[in-house]
Amino acid sequence: MQGAANIVHKDTRKLKKTPNLLDYEKTYKTFNWQEAESEIDYFKDKTLNAAYNIVDRHAKGKGKNKIALFFEGQNGEKEKHSFLNLQKLTNKFANVLAFFNVKKGDRVFIFLPTIPERYIAFLGILKVGAVAGTLFPAFQEVALLDRLLDSGAKIVITNSVLYPRIKKIWSKLPNLEKVIIVERGSVIYPKDKRIFYFNQEMKKASPDFKIAHMKKDDFAYMLYTSGTTGKPKGVIHAHHDILQAVWTTKFALDVQGDDIYWCTADSGWVTGVVYGILGIWGLGGTSVIFEGRFSPASWYKVIQDYKVTIWYTSPTAIRMLMGSDVAVKEFDLSSLRFLGSVGEPLNPEAVWWSLEYFGLPFHDNWWMTELGGICIANFASLDIKPGSMGKPMPGIKAAIIDGDGKELPIGKEGSLALKPETVSSLMKTIWKNKEKYNSYFSYNWYISGDRAYQDKDGYFWFVGRADDVINTMGERIGPFEVESVLVEYPEVVEAGVIGKPDELRGEIIKAFVVLKAGVEATEELKEKLKDYVKKHLAGHAYPREIEFIDKLPKTRSGKIMRRVLKAKELGLSTGDTSTLEDY
Ligand code: WT7
């Protein structure tokens, strides 16, 4: 592999392993999802269950003693589980849920750190045919209430550290019947008949379970994601979506038999679910789960200790590694053979840096919560043009279109769209919001909301979001959610929130705040507002910058014009402001 001019050239004969996808062009032409079905298993009655594909089929076969999960806890404690063991544990948890009368279609949510119980619970939920929801551990009461109320979650699985946040809002959640507390770490035992304990229930449960037979489009998991307006939306994925998870893990992440794989994404987000659970175990692969905090040294140590071969991470993490003085050379990272990145634009410097320091380039890929799996990728066998997201996954038709749904010529910037019938893991609906679901489609395209262009060699290049959605550290944040929390603060009249470009985090959240008359605009108040958002919405979704202003730019109908705030912030032209009220 060598970097010449601005292309990373690949010589597939010199790679440590021959890539699963060796001939991209040929495969792209011949791939079809019907034939690809051979990669997943159905029951005799033609139904399936994603959890059976993830665990049981491997636990039955030769690979039953293969390690599925290596766990390292925050205090360095280690644990490992074979597929056979994972089968028993997930069956037990499915029995626990069945005993609690959880039925097909019920929503069960997981609010836990990165510990084995999070994965066991997720798969147990799938096995009973319920819908698994995951929650990011940084969520606070507003974010939790939005999701648990909208989904009507029946049970939440959490731990003693996070439970107090649920307790605060439980009275507002009429459907939440029970909380199951995982005893790992310190445990408190609140006196509440509706609270149960993970290990205590698991002890009573049988390791045998008759897995629910599900239709292809029956719901398996849901994740809330943010748009420009309104509360977060519940994106619903089905059992059959495992097909694309498996194929992309094979083709876009190049996972093979004895690879040791580490996807660093938290399973509160879609990457952590699809590539931390569905894809890797769907393929029968070995995955590392690390609870410890991020630091360059702790991450390099994980790679060294577990001899990680495939590493899937995010641009912000890569930039933090680049900016650190912890030397890559101090660790033996020679096990690595393929690096992937997702979530936000990967700047070309990051690719050159990894080539220099790891001897391997990062492979950027692109998708969205709604899409359920990688759609555009830089593949192991293809040259990389640093800064580009790569080419469509075999089976997927992607294009750049104009406002009338017409495909634009090479080089022209437009709306990045996909043919929905070619994305096998596309969401099935938006929970209780058909209208929102329908709004994604026009002229027979799925509209991503991203602006991009395609070059003459077929590579896609990301330009930016077409809407006001903020992408900070690879996480999608709706400006409305942050604004709503800010205006709850007694001294605040209104707030407008934008994403401001940031070298490290991609974007940071910046809030423009209008204070009540007579309130003094102090630095101290800014800190208080930041804390307020951290404590009420989520630890990661607070405005790192706050500016007090007298008035927000609004349309005549009263909508905040965030693009005007953004243009002002960046010193750009404010564009068409004819709909703007006097400002
Ligand atoms: C949005 C989706 C896909 C899992 C994690 C994020 C942005 C995603 C890239 C990339 C530039 C990217 C897009 C997209 N995005 N990957 N490789 N380059 N931007 O999932 O939270 O649903 O966000 O993230 O804007 O629409 P998500």
Task: Specify whether 432 is located in the same domain as 476.
Answer: no
Give percent of the chain above pLDDT 70: 97
| Ligand 1 center to 369 CA (angstroms) | 8
pLDDT of amino acid 541:
94
Q: Where are the beta strands (DSSP E) in 325-385?
A: 338-342, 362-366, 376-377
Looking at ligand 1, which atom is closest to the CA of residue 271? Answer: 4
Q: Is the pLDDT reported for residue 551 higher than 60?
A: yes
- Ligand 1 centroid to residue 204 C-alpha, Å: 42
Domain edge (last residue) among 451, 479, 496: 451
Residue 71 CA, distance from chain mean position: 20
pLDDT beyond 80 at 118: yes
Q: Which domain holds residue 505?
A: 470-570
Q: Nearest C-alpha to atom 12 of ligand 1 is from which residue? A: 344
Could you tell me if 423 and 521 lie in one domain?
Answer: no
Looking at 239-380, which runs of residues are DSSP E strands? 260-263, 286-290, 310-313, 338-342, 362-366, 376-377
Ligand 1 centroid from CA 177, angstroms? 35
Q: Strand 260-263 to strand 310-313: parallel, antiparallel, or no bridges (unpaired)?
A: parallel
Structure tokens at 198: 């993970």
- Residue to mutate, 346, 367, 375, ligand 1, most ligand atoms under 8 Å from C-beta: 367
> Quick one: 270 and 171 in the same domain?
yes
534: pLDDT strictly greater than 50:
yes
At position 410, the amino acid (one-letter code) is I
- Residues within 6 Å of ligand 1 by CB: 225, 270-271, 342-345, 364-369, 389, 448-450, 462, 465, 471, 474, 476
Residue 227's pLDDT is: 84
Between 409 and 582, the higher pLDDT residue? 409
What does the DSSP 8-state code read for residue 399? Answer: E
Q: Is residue 28 part of a domain?
A: no
CA torsion angle for 390, 391, 396, 399 (degrees, to 10)? 100
Residues 303 and 263 occupy one common structural domain? yes
3-class secondary structure, 518: coil
Same domain, 528 and 566: yes
Residue 505, C-beta contacts closer than 8 angstroms, at least 6 positions apart: 316, 472, 473
How far apart are the CA of 345 and the centre of ligand 1, in A?
8
Q: How far apart (Å, rounded) are the C-alpha atoms in residues 157 and 135?
A: 10
Q: Distance between CA atoms of 318 and 503, rounded to whole angstroms?
A: 12
Give 320 Cα–ligand 1 centroid separation in angstroms.
19
356 pLDDT exceeds 60? yes
Same-domain pairing of 179 and 317: yes
Residue 583 belongs to a domain: no
* 440 and 482 both lie in a single domain: no
- Give residue 581's pLDDT: 64
Of 387, 417, 451, the residue at which a domain comes to its end is 451
Asked which of 386, 417, 451 is the last residue of a domain, the reply is 451
Examine residue 197 and state whether it is found in any structural domain, yes or no: yes
Ligand 1 center–CA 441 separation, angstroms:
18
**pTM reported for the whole predicted model:** 0.94
- For 492, phi and psi rounded to 5 degrees? -100, 135
Residues 58-75, mean pLDDT to the nearest whole number: 96
Max distance between CA atoms of the chain, in angstroms, equals 73
SS3 state of residue 221: strand
Residue at 200: amino acid letter:
Q
In a domain, 47, yes or no: yes
Does 229 map to a domain? yes
Q: For residues 24 and 430, what is the distance between their CA atoms, to the nearest angstrom?
A: 33
Confidence at 229, pLDDT banded by 50, 70, 90? confident
For range 462-478, the mean pLDDT: 93
Is residue 362 located within the same domain as residue 414? yes
Are 168 and 125 found together in one domain?
yes
Please compute, for residue 65, the number of CA atoms within 13 A of its CA located in the half-sphere on the CB side. Answer: 0
| pLDDT computed for residue 222 by the predictor | 98
Expressed in angstroms and rounded, the spacing between residue 366 Cα and the centre of ligand 1 is 6
Specify the ligand 1 atom closest to the Cα of 465. Answer: 25
How are the residues of the chain apportioned to helix, strand and coil, as percentages rounded to the nearest 5?
35, 25, 40
Strands of 233-390 (E only): list them. 233-238, 260-263, 286-290, 310-313, 338-342, 362-366, 376-377
Residue type, 339: L
What CATH code is carried by the domain that includes residue 103? 3.40.50.12780
pLDDT digits (tens, 9 = 90+) for 12-32: 999 999 999 999 999 999 999
Residue 230 pLDDT grade (very low, low, confident, very high; cuts 50, 70, 90): confident
The pLDDT, as a whole number, for residue 1 is 52
The residue to mutate among 249, 316, 347, 366, having the most atoms of ligand 1 within 8 angstroms of its beta carbon, is 366
Whether 368 is covered by a domain: the verdict is yes
Q: Report d(CA 45, CA 26) in Å as an integer.
A: 34
Pocket test of ligand 1: the residue of 476, 477, 507, 540 to mutate, having most ligand atoms within 8 Å of its CB, is 476
Q: For ligand 1, atom 21, which residue shows the shortest CA distance?
A: 476
**Ligand 1 mean position, distance from CA 123 (Å):** 25
What is the average pLDDT across 289-306?
97
What value, to the nearest 5°, has the Cα angle with vertex 301 and ends 298 and 304? Answer: 160
Q: How far apart are CA 292 and CA 148, in angstroms?
A: 27
Element housing 68 (H / E): strand 67-72
Q: Give the distance (Å) from ligand 1 centre to CA of residue 471.
A: 8
Pocket test for ligand 1, best of 237, 241, 344, 451 (most atoms within 8 A of CB): 344
The total of structural domains in the chain comes to 2
Question: Between 358 and 61, whose confidence is greater?
Answer: 358
Confidence of residue 578 (pLDDT cuts 50, 70, 90): low
Q: DSSP letters along 168-199, please?
A: HHGGG-TT--EEEEE-SSS----S-TTEEEHH
Pocket test for ligand 1, best of 134, 314, 342, 430 (most atoms within 8 A of CB): 342
**Is 479 part of a structural domain of the chain?**
yes
Q: Give me the mean pLDDT over the 154-176 stretch.
A: 98
* Residue of minimum CA distance from atom 27 in ligand 1: 368
Q: How far apart are CA 478 and CA 482, in angstroms?
A: 7
Does position 498 have pLDDT exceeding 50, yes or no? yes
Q: Averaged over 509-532, what is the pLDDT?
A: 97
Say yes or no: 293 and 196 in one domain. yes
CA-closest residue to ligand 1 atom 1: 368
Q: How far apart are CA 114 and CA 53, in angstroms?
A: 22
Mean pLDDT of the chain: 95
Residue 573: its pLDDT value, please?
Answer: 74
> Are 311 and 400 part of one and the same domain?
yes
CA 511 – ligand 1 centroid, Å: 22
pLDDT of 3 over the 60 cut: no
Same domain, 208 and 143: yes
Note whether residue 463 is domain-resident. Answer: no
Residue 556 banded pLDDT, cuts 50, 70, 90: confident
CATH number at residue 494: 3.30.300.30
Q: Taking residues 301-316, what's their average pLDDT?
A: 97
Q: Where are the beta strands (DSSP E) in 328-483?
A: 338-342, 362-366, 376-377, 391-392, 398-401, 414-418, 429-430, 441-442, 445-454, 460-465, 470-472, 475-477
